[in-house]
């Protein structure tokens, strides 16, 4: 059991499965711009680095100069389609209630305004003492900046904190910040990426946190 005062969560692929809504918006963007669409799985594997990086990975290499146009089109689609298919992973509400007396926070590369709308829409915003979005830092994950802001503002040491995320960039950010890293293998990337990233612990179900943290 790990004695913790603060649990920081990634959002997409950790607290929520937003992959279908994101994939829908990506393909609407590509179709509008006259490019080939991607499979749902191919888009899902590219989520996590932020909107700009996601679009860089789906635009043709010779069309990267259209990135800002693509971003604007994507945001138009996605901002109105945030919660059509997106939902909490099984057990998330139970975990938030179980740990409600601890300090809970979110560190995501998703823009803050979209994150806020999603947390509000899923009725979980009240659980979190601090939420840092990708536009609230100079350097997004895998930089530790978002985690360091949370540690500083909530006045908790890295040694008493954990970060739960589903991707290499989450584990890298957590390690750089000096916190314990827990990989969510049920998320978008799977166990192998988390093992390769060197996650301290890997879980297949978010409910496993109850046996890891006290």
Helices 145-154 and 168-177 pack at an angle, to 10 degrees, of 50
Residue 80, number of CB atoms within 10 A of its CB: 9
Active site residue 10: yes
Among 34, 38, 35, 10, which residue's Cα sits nearest to residue 23? 38
Which residue bears the tokens 């809970």?
A: 104
Number of H helices, E strands in the chain: 10, 8
| β pairing state of 87-88 and 201-203 | unpaired
Contact 180, 7 (CB under 8 A): no
3-state secondary structure of 123: coil
Structure tokens that stand for 33 in this block: 């711009």
> How far is it between the farthest Cα atoms of the chain?
53
E strand intervals along 58-152: 87-88, 103-107, 130-132
> d(Cα 2, Cα 6) in Å, to the nearest integer?
11
Active site residues: 10
């Amino acid at each position: 059991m790990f004695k913790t005062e603060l649990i920081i969560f990634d959002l997409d692929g950790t607290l929520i499965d937003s992959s279908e809504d994101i994939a829908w918006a990506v393909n609407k963007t590509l179709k509008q711009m006259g490019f080939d669409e991607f499979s749902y799985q191919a888009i899902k594997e590219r989520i996590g680095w932020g909107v700009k990086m996601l679009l860089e990975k789906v635009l043709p290499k010779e069309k990267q100069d259209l990135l800002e146009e693509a971003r604007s089109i994507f945001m138009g689609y996605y901002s109105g389609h945030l919660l059509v298919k997106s939902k909490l992973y099984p057990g998330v509400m139970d975990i938030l209630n179980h740990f409600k007396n601890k300090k809970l926070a979110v560190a995501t590369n998703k823009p803050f305004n979209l994150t806020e709308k999603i947390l509000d829409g899923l009725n979980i915003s009240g659980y979190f003492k601090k939420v840092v979005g990708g536009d609230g830092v100079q350097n997004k994950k895998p930089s530790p900046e978002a985690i360091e802001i949370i540690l500083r503002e909530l006045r908790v040491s890295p040694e008493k904190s954990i970060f739960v995320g589903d991707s290499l960039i989450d584990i890298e950010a957590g390690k750089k910040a000096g916190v314990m890293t827990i990989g969510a293998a049920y998320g978008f990337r799977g166990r192998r990426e988390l093992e390769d990233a060197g996650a301290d612990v890997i879980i297949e179900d978010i409910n496993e946190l109850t046996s890891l943290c006290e």
